[in-house]
Amino acid sequence: MKYLNLSLLAIGLFVSATISKAQTLDEVIAKYVSAMGGKENMAKITSVYMENTLQVMGQEASSTSVVLNGKGSKTVSDVMGQKMVQCYTDKSGWMINPMMGSSEPGDMPAEQYNAGKSSIYTVDPLSGWSERGYKVELVGKEKVGAVEAFKIKLVSPENVTAFYYIDPATYYPVQMTMTVDAGGQSMNMTTNFSDYRKTDAGIVIPFSTDVDYGGQFNITLKTKKIEYNKNIDPAIFEKGNMSL
């Protein structure tokens, strides 16, 4: 009987710990969503238009991005006089990359498409994880610079895994990491976020983003202009269309 009681106690502690962990995860995500503007404001956003400047391998460039919620996202960059395009839709992706020797539109590799497909939504993956079929797990805490951040594992329906690191003081993400495919090679991509500001729509975004591609090169993106709910013609996502 003594051993039975101990076993039941152990089971009870395990269940309690599991419930506690689930509640902690829910709490962290709820505070994150609230910090980023809240579900109500997010639900009002149908499209996003952004103008950015880039620092790429010591060169300054510009880019413009648009998102039409659930339909498509597209970024056109001007890098050293060359036009580069990345376009995702709800079904596939295409790109133009003269740096890779072609100025013609080409189909996006499946791995790259799966890794970036979430960009077609105006609500980020962590805020909309449940509705979009993601799996989430609170892994624990991990140091990111001076921040002892919450570490959340997010797995997409396409089985793409990303880790978000959330500042417990602000509930803003300070970093996101994931493994991406680059020309047939796996690469660890680390994205650091800073300079958070609240926009006119009540949504909070990082106005500075630094992306490290496995230590091989960095891209620093700074947002200069953002507009919400502009009319966007879905035709711009058709393969080869250079308009925005």
pLDDT of residue 12: 46
Domains detected in the chain: 2-237 (2.50.20.10)
Mean pLDDT on 197-226:
94
Mean pLDDT on 188-210:
96
pLDDT at residue 10 is higher than 90: no
The residue assigned the tokens 């829910």 is: 26
Q: Which amino acid is at 235?
A: A
Nearest to 80 by CA among 54, 106, 101: 54
pLDDT of residue 3: 41
The mean predicted confidence, pLDDT, of the chain is: 88
Distance of CA 25 to CAs 58, 132, 133, 140, Å?
40, 18, 16, 10
**Per-residue pLDDT tens over the stretch 142-182:** 999 999 999 999 999 999 999 999 999 999 999 999 987 66
Q: Assign 3-class secondary structure to 7-31.
A: HHHHHHHHHHHHHHHHHHHHHHHHH
Task: Decide: residue 183, CB within 10 A, 0-12 exposed, 13-18 middle, 19+ buried.
Answer: exposed
pLDDT of residue 2: 41
pLDDT at residue 185 is higher than 80: no
Q: Assign 3-class secondary structure to 21-74.
A: HHHHHHHHHHHHHHHCCCHHHHHCCCEEEEEEEEEECCEEEEEEEEEECCCEEE
Q: Kindly give the residue spans of alpha helices, DSSP state H, lying in 81-203.
A: 110-116
pLDDT at residue 76 is higher than 80: yes
CA distance 244 to 236: 6
Q: How confident is the model at residue 184 (pLDDT cuts 50, 70, 90)?
A: low
Query: Which of 90-104, 172-186, 199-213 ranks highest by mean pLDDT?
Result: 199-213
Query: Which of 1-5, 48-52, 217-221 ranks highest by mean pLDDT?
Result: 48-52
